[in-house]
Structure formats: structure tokens, C-alpha cells
Amino acid sequence: MTEMKRFNKILLLLFMISMMVACTKDFNEINTNPHGFTTASDGSLFNGIIESMVLKGDEQFYINNEILYKQTQLAAVTKDAWGNFTIGTEALWDNYYKTLPSIRELEKRYDAAEPSSSINRMKAMLDIVFAYKTFKMTDLFGDIPVSKAGYGFQDLEYLHPEYDTQRDIYLNMLAKLKTADSLLSDTAVEAEPFLSFKAFDKFFKGDVMQWQKLANSLRLRYAMRMVNQEPELAGEVILDVLENNRPILVGYDLASPVLESACLWPAQSGFKNESLNWSFREHNGLRMGSTLWHLLSINDNGDGSGIFDPRAYIFFEPDGNNLWSAFPQVPDLTTPSSGGVPYGEHRDDAGNFNIKGDNCNYSPFNYFLIRDQDYMPIIFITGAEVHFLLAEAYFRGIGVPADRDRADIEYMNGINSSVDWWKKLSRTLQLPLSALKFKDVVSIPQNLNAASVLNHFGSWIATTDEEFLALIYTQCWIDAFRQPWDAYALARRTGLTPRDGGPLNHFRMPYPPSEYQYNSTNCNAAIARQGGDSPETKLWWAKK
């Protein structure tokens, strides 16, 4: 009897266990990652896109410091380069394409949303960043996947995207910028969801006018960049901006400095540009080159007595022997080798600032410029560049009637803006540990200013049209000292930027190995269309 009771109890237990087991109760809860985010706000996605505009270490190291400074001759690579540029091209590719799904997601959201001023503004800001990033990529590689790229998360049909021609990319992105400008012209009072969204805007803190200026300034830049290939289309864009008085970034307004620019300012936006110093410290091969030096100083005097351009003091500093010394842009067998550790973090520590290591016998980049992770901005476009673009447009009569006087004024304002902008910046730069400010360490002689530059590079010294254009390009090139990719574009477009040795024979970056390996059909089609994948292959806009 008791046996049976016990048996029944056990059967009951068995039943209970089976009931418990057979169901999938709590599975949802168990299989939810408590630390995973299943939703993302528009603002947080946008913030990620903005973050992607901060230059990454590998891009700076392997592309800028290894290749672009050398090719543009904005500086000299003193040692044989590491040559493993594929790390850099992969980094560029990663940066652009891993951000693209966020852009596609926001596009999808805005397309689906009820149109409103808020949505328009958000969409416009997104498109401006998208256009900037895309132009930068296509200008380095040529044809790249754009219109079908970045959709992998939305549709599995788009896992191996075809390449767009550079021409299509240019026209599409210029159209996007134009639309963005008009969307941002809406003067409706700011409301939600834009108010929440703009808190995430680390670029302009939701200042719509700044975005509009950036959009139109970029339109000028990229219209000009394709001018040799598409003069009429380029002219239309430039005319549209100027004729309709679209807001643009201004360096000088008549004779008064405005010194506008579009930059990411780390301290203001609350981040640290950590890879900046690494890319110089570990590379350690960049020094002042003879080409730029000879445009900043009238002679090679080591005491700097020949320097007439204050930017020499901002961009570079004397070598380990406290002398100004440029590495020859085209070295020969007799060139003494370069040494030292001028970019080492040891210089942050009190009393160590002047230790540049043994054999630091060429002028390094100014330590503040490559060390200050808080106040040295990441530059996208400056007011000075806009002036130089306008100088070229007026001089060549692109979109607007040719006007030599107007061109002179814009050229002069370009120099004024550039020199003043860099001088102003230099006063804010400081070292992270010591809080040493730039001006306390390297004082720029008082007599050096925009006027001393103009004394040497005033438009009046040009005797031919080509010489004047070369002046414009030279100054635009100097202003782009920390945008070597833009200087590279200028050099390729014009062939008139300063240069020692033979003409430029480097026009693009080869596609990264991952595209060869995983998107071979489309990659090979693009290569065939462009006539090769070597650096010597010219981009569409540089073909003429």
C-alpha cells in the first residue's frame, strides 16, 4: 500500500518534470542579451557617422604619412616607406563601408517618415556627411561601389555591389548637396525630433547655417575638381552657389577676418584624437621637405632668418640642433640619413620638450600639431580654400564671367584667411600633460604675418595666366597642410602645385585586397573600365 502511494508520488513528480521540460517558457528572456542594443536612435546612428569622420590611425600612418605627404611634397619621407599601404586602403574601405549601413538605415527611416522640417534637416545633414565621405573615397580610388553599396543588412541581393563610375558618383553627390542646401533653407522653428537629434551633432552642434555653409562650400570644391572633365556642369554648380548667394564658409569678409572653417574640434566636441600622435610617433619618417620649405623661407639659413611665412613656425620646428633644415625632396646618395624621436611622448613631460633624440637633423613637424589630441582639429574645408576656389572661378571664368580684380581679391583673402586661421589655431594648441600652449614655446616673430607672405606671393608677381593659377594653387596647397588628401587632389587636377623632380605619376590608391578576394567580379570590371589598378592610372576627373 505504502509502496503504491510512493509510486504515485513519483509518477506525479515525473509528470511535473515533463510539463516543466516540454515547454519553452522563459526562452525569450534567456536568449536576450541584457547588454545588447536592439534599437538605435537616429541621433546615435548619426553620431556614429560623425565619429567615422575622425581620421583613423592606419589611414594617417599608411596613406597620409606614407604616401600622400610624399606625393604632394607637403613634406618629405626620410626613410624608405614600410610599403604596406594595403593596411591603409583596407582602413579607408572599412571606415567608409562600415558606416554606410547606418547611412542606409537613416535614409530608409527618413524616406518612410512623414515629411517635416525636422526630417528635412536631419536628412540634409546626413546627406552632407554622406557626400563628403563619398567624395573623399572616390577621389582616392576612382570608381567605387556607392549606389548599391551598404545595403547588405537590408537586402541579401546586395552583398556584392557593383562599382559606380566616378562621374555618376560626382553628379549624384553634387545633387545631394544641392538638395541639402535647399532643405536647410526651411526657416520653420526647430521642433522634435530635430531637437533631440541635434544634441548628437558633434560637428556643428545642430547649427543649421553651418551645415548649409559646408554643403555649398563642398559644392564649390567638387564642382571645381571636375572642371577639366565637365566644365559646363561645374560652371552650373558654381554659378548656382554664387548667383543665388548661397551661404558659404568665409575666411575674410572684405577686410575683416571671419576665419570660418568646417572642422571637428576634439575638446569642444568631447573626444580625443588619439591616433594622431601614434601615426607620427610610430612612423617617425616625416620631416619638413625642401619643396614647402622653399615656399616659406627665402633661403636655407638654419637660424630661420629667411622665413617670411609664419606658417613655417606652425607647421614645423627646428631640428635637434635647433636649426631649420629641410630634407631634400629628391634625396641622393650623399643625403645624410635622418634620425631622432621628435614625435615621442616623452616630450610631454616637463623639461623634456627639447629632447628630440640623436641625429634629429631635419626639421620635424611641429610637435603641437601632431600631439595635441584635444585642440588640433580634423579639418574638412577652410574658408581660405573657398577663397582660393573663388579666385580660380573668377580668374578662369568658370560659371561666372572672368573677373581678374575679383580673382585678386579672393586670392588675397585666401592668404589672409589661411595665415590668420593657422595663427589663431596655433595659440590654442597645447600639450596634454604639461598644458604648455603653443605660443609659450614657439613664438612666431611679430613681423611674420599675412602681409609678409603677400610680399613674396602677391598676385602681381605673376606675369602669365599660368603663373597666377600656380600662385592660387600653391597657396591653396599650403593651406591644406593637414588635409594631404585634398592637396593630392589639387596636385592631380592641376599639375601646377609646387614640386621638385619629375611630374606627379601617382593618381590613385589600388583597391584593397579584400575587394579582390571577395568582390572580384565587380572589382575586376571596374579595373578594366578604368584601365588598370595601379597608382599610375588616372581618375576620371584627372584624365584631361
- Please list every residue from 270 through 309 that binds other proteins, using CB under 8 A: 270-272
Determine if 9 is a binding residue for other proteins (CB under 8 A).
no
Determine if 8 is a binding residue for other proteins (CB under 8 A).
no
Show Cβ contacts of residue 488 under 8 Å, excluding neighbours closer than 6 positions: 68, 71, 72, 139
Q: Which is nearer to other proteins, 86 or 117 (CB)?
A: 86
Give the range of 432-440, 452-460, 487-495, 499-507 binding other proteins by CB under 8 A. Answer: 432-440
- Alpha-carbon distance 62 to 407, whole Å? 37
Residue 334 Cβ vs other proteins, minimum distance, rounded to whole Å: 10
Residue 464, all three cell numbers: 602669365
Q: Any idea what DSSP says for residue 365? A: B
Determine if 2 is a binding residue for other proteins (CB under 8 A).
no
How wide is the angle at C-alpha 344 spanned by C-alphas 338 and 346, nearest 5°?
135
Determine if 21 is a binding residue for other proteins (CB under 8 A).
yes
Please work out the total of residues on this chain that contact other proteins, with binding judged by CB under 8 A: 89
- Count the Cβ atoms, other than its own, within 10 Å of residue 28: 8
Secondary structure (3-state) at 378: strand
- Alpha-carbon distance 149 to 138, whole Å? 13
Look at residues 303, 298, 415, 314 and name the one whose alpha carbon lies nearest to residue 370: 314
Residue 156 Cβ vs other proteins, minimum distance, rounded to whole Å: 8
Determine if 206 is a binding residue for other proteins (CB under 8 A).
no
Residue 102 Cβ vs other proteins, minimum distance, rounded to whole Å: 6
**What does the per-residue mask of binding to other proteins show for 110-149, with x meaning CB under 8 A?**
----------------------------------xx---x
Determine if 169 is a binding residue for other proteins (CB under 8 A).
no
- Alpha-carbon distance 226 to 397, whole Å? 15
Residue 452, all three cell numbers: 609678409
Give the range of 183-191, 198-206, 224-232, 536-544 binding other proteins by CB under 8 A. Answer: 198-206
Residue 125, all three cell numbers: 545633414
**Segment 324 to 353, residues that bind other proteins, using CB under 8 A:** 333, 337
Determine if 460 is a binding residue for other proteins (CB under 8 A).
no
Determine if 209 is a binding residue for other proteins (CB under 8 A).
no
- Alpha-carbon distance 59 to 68, whole Å? 10
Name the H helices within 113-207: 117-141, 166-184, 194-198
Cell 633644415 belongs to residue: 325
Q: Which is nearer to other proteins, 145 or 484 (CB)?
A: 145
Q: Which is nearer to other proteins, 21 or 112 (CB)?
A: 21
Among 55, 63, 76, 100, binds other proteins (CB under 8 A): 100
Among 1, 2, 37, 401, binds other proteins (CB under 8 A): 37
| C-alpha distance across the termini of the chain, in Å | 104
Among 39, 244, 256, 463, binds other proteins (CB under 8 A): 39
Among 109, 116, 117, 158, binds other proteins (CB under 8 A): 158
Q: Which is nearer to other proteins, 44 or 182 (CB)?
A: 44
Q: Which contiguous run of DSSP H or E holds residue 395?
A: helix 383-396
Backbone CA torsion sign across 185, 187, 193, 196: positive
Secondary structure (3-state) at 49: helix
Determine if 10 is a binding residue for other proteins (CB under 8 A).
yes
Secondary structure (3-state) at 215: helix
Among 199, 209, 451, 525, binds other proteins (CB under 8 A): 199
Determine if 245 is a binding residue for other proteins (CB under 8 A).
no
Q: Which is nearer to other proteins, 161 or 304 (CB)?
A: 161
- Given a contact cutoff of 8 angstroms between Cβ atoms, the answer to whether 215 and 262 are in contact is no
Give the range of 12-20, 219-227, 295-303, 458-466 binding other proteins by CB under 8 A. Answer: 12-20
